[in-house]
Structure 1
Amino acid sequence: MKGHFTNIVCVLNDTHKQDEVVAQAIHVAKRHQARLTVVLKLDALPPNAKMVMQSFAYLETQTSIESSAQVWLKDKAQAWQEKYPLDTDVRVGDSNNDFLHYIVESGFDLVIKLSEADFLERLFGSEDMNLLRKCPCPVWVVHRGNSRQYDTIVACLDLNYHYPEHEVSVRKKLNMDILRYASQVALMEFAQLHIIHVYDAVPENIARGGFISVDENHLTSDLQDIYAERDAELDRLLANLEEELDDGTLEYLAPQRHITHGYPRREIAIAARSLGAKAVVMGTVARIGVPGFIMGGTAEETISQLDCAVLGIKPEGFISPVSE
């Protein structure tokens, strides 16, 4: 069943207070009995570094940087390995695409990393976004300070299926995958599972701008129909999930449903925050059938408003632009 990991990579982007994210990676690896690799990924010095700053003179080559990094990582790994067996690797000077190639070639099925941005900024860094957009496997980005307090898990579903038939099929599979991963995380963390879907009958900026006239009675009726449609689809998804889980598991999870009308780009994050979400599980690709297509506005804006961990899931058939 999707949601079970076998080969996890924990990515460190510097040597500053990384024990927390490694502890989270060990926690997940233990629960899944997965192989774990801790990778220290460092930028290379620019070619003119010694011309700009004489203090760089002792770092003469990329090889010397890599050697020093390996010594640091080997020393840290001794303490980490007392808690769980793990491998280590150092990557210096990899471009984003080089590193994505490394992930693909290594067969990792989950990437865990600390957000580059400060917790209070509610904004993910450029490398976080690059992984969420292009990495073919799930990406779990955690914020410093809350990586082990996952008592509330939120699954964000897009239950709007008014699209071409092929896209609808893939969207349904993605929603099931999001539920599978969210339920596995909730079970692993002994957490409460919430499911959010926000629907919008008329784009708010169009209606608010007066570009179309709306019959309020018909709109109310339409919204009721949309709610019933989405509620029925969620029933179907949960029935499928119940068949996959062990007997009584879904009853134990007791997922709380939240289907609301509003502007998704704003209301999804608001709902997640109001529920006290510690981790949000969501799809992170906008268009189906377009290999490596960047995240859509709703996903990107939602992530930028969150102050909790995000587990980003790609749809079935997603092809990373670096693996073509």
Structure 2
Amino acid sequence: MIECNHILAVLDAERDNQPALSRALEVAQKTGATVTALMVVYDLSYDMTTMLSPDERDTMRDAVTKDQSKRLSQQLKEQGFSNIDIVVEWNNKAYESVIYYALNNQIDLVVKATKNHDDLASVIFTPTDWHLMRKCPRPVLLVKDHDWPENGEIIAAVNVGSEDEEHDALNDKITDIANEYARLLKGHVNLVNSYPATPLNIAIEVPEFDSEKYHSAVKNHHLDEMDAHAAKHGIAPNKCIVKEGLPERVIPQVAKEIDAELVIIGTVGRVGISAALIGNTAEHVIDALNCDVLAIKPNGFVSPYTV
């Protein structure tokens, strides 16, 4: 069963509606979990006031967070949300507050609304949800404007062509979670796997290279691995999709074709230059989707914020 006793909904101070909270409450209703609403606020002008002492700055920050908490509580009551724990924290790095709160309060699921990111801006200023996908050890549900209807379609994005044991373990974890959400939402699990196209440079540089034979071998390998993985987890053959192409193209394409309500994908945290230049498949996938994404870390993942 999905272990979901405490959900953290990350609210956006710039939004009137709070889709993350709505989705968190929807999951809580089905699992019996409690929900905490966290809003992170920051105003650079308070830190630039050189005439104030550190204690005076702290007093001003406390006043801002308390005022924001009161306004948020009133706003949520007017929108019909009640009996929700509200936490407002001051931090110029919102993702740090989210991760620390999740680690220190036994959070099982972090829910946050997301939107499309500008590619250049994302490289220079990594968005909060990218940081959460890389560094938060808890599952992160990124919410978009798509309903969760009964008998809907759920995608488990797997990489069954890999011979890596960690990839296999992550595939199992993703599929198990997809099956649990399917039971929770009365939906259907679709396994989606992509495989690479034949490298053109090899076909050009090596005249005797049989590109058709290579392509057929790669495709059949992925099909066989998918059959074995599906059988292991009780997924029907007609719910298994294997396509040629990059996962960041294949997954959104399939999600659009079947009108998926949720995509579950594994993500491995990257930091530094590699994170900026390469990014994660999950990060590229989410911008191209119009449905929710549940990002799952592999077993044994340790957040850089874990004490």
TM-score by length of 1: 0.76
Q: Which residue pairs with 1:90 in the alignment?
A: 88
Aligned to 2:66: 67
Matching residue of 2:129: 128
* Shift, 1:303, TM fit: 2.2
What is the CA distance between 1:127 and its match in structure 2?
Answer: 0.5
RMSD: 3.4
Q: In 2 relative to 1, CA 83–42 (structure 1 residues): closer, same or farther, beyond 3 Å?
A: closer
Return the alpha-carbon distance in structure 1 between the equivalents of residues 133 and 219 of structure 2. Answer: 34
Structure 1 residue 116, shift from structure 2 partner: 4.5
Equivalent in the alignment of 1:171: 167
Per-residue deviation at 1:187? 2.4
d(CA) in 1 for partners of 2:44 and 2:200?
46
Change (3 A) 1:111 1:223: same
Q: Deviations over 1:168-216 (max 9, x none)?
A: 1x222211221122222222222232110111264x56458x4555303
- Per-residue Cα deviation, 1:18-67 (whole angstroms, up to 9, x for no partner): 3433222111011110121111222233346679xxxxxxxx92122112
Query: Is contact 2:267-2:297 (8 Å) kept?
Result: yes
109 and 315 in structure 1: CA distance in 2 versus 1, 3 angstrom threshold: same
1:227 paired with 2:225, answer no
1:200–1:263 CA contact under 8 A, matched in 2: yes
Match in the other structure for 1:247: none
Give identity over the alignment, percent.
23
Distance 2:104 2:255 in 1: 35
Q: Distance in 1 between matches of 2:163 and 2:202?
A: 20
Q: Is the 8 A contact 1:174 1:315 kept in 2?
A: yes
* Contact 1:159/1:233 (<8 A) preserved: no
- Give the corresponding residue for 1:215: 210
Q: Separation in 2 of the partners of 1:185 and 1:257?
A: 17
Which residue is equivalent to 2:186? Answer: 190
- For residue 293 of structure 2, give the secondary structure of its aligned residue in structure 1: strand
1:268 matched to which residue of 2? 251
Q: Is the 8 A contact 1:12 1:18 kept in 2?
A: no
Higher mean C-alpha displacement, 305-314 vs 175-184: 175-184
Shift, 1:313, TM fit: 0.3
SS of the aligned residue for 2:16 comes to: coil
* Map of 1:10 onto structure 2: 9
1:4/1:184 contact within 8 Å kept? no
SS at match of 1:61: helix
Q: Quick check: 1:116–1:128 contact (8 Å CA) kept in 2?
A: no
- C-alpha contact 1:62 1:92 (8 A) present in aligned 2: yes
- Select between 13-22 and 192-201 the one with higher mean Cα deviation: 13-22
Counterpart of 2:261 in structure 1 is 278
* Count of residue correspondences: 288
Q: Distance in 2 between matches of 1:107 and 1:223?
A: 43
How does the TM-score come out when normalised to structure 2? Answer: 0.80
What is the rounded CA distance, in whole Å, between the counterparts of 1:102 and 1:296 in structure 2? 25
- In structure 2, relative to structure 1, the CA distance for the partners of 1:207 and 1:279 (3 Å cut) is farther
Partner of 1:112: 111
Q: Given that residues 146 and 290 in structure 2 are in contact (C-alpha distance below 8 angstroms), is that contact kept between their aligned partners in structure 1?
A: no
Aligned to 1:46, the other structure's residue is in SS state helix
Q: Structure 1's 91 and 117: CA in aligned 2 closer, same or farther, altered over 3 A?
A: farther
Q: Cα–Cα, structure 1 residues 37 and 48, in superposed 2: closer, same or farther, change >3 Å?
A: closer
The CA distance in 2 between the partners of 1:129 and 1:29, in whole Å, is 24
Q: Map 1:305-320; keep pairs closer than 5 Å.
A: 305-320=288-303
The one-letter amino acid paired with 2:176 is: R
Which piece of structure 1 moves more, 132-141 or 149-158? 149-158
Q: Counterpart of 1:21 in structure 2: which amino acid?
A: A
Pairs within 5 Å for 1:135-150: 135-143=136-144, 145-149=145-149
- Taking the aligned partners of 1:205 and 1:14, their CA distance within structure 2 comes to 49
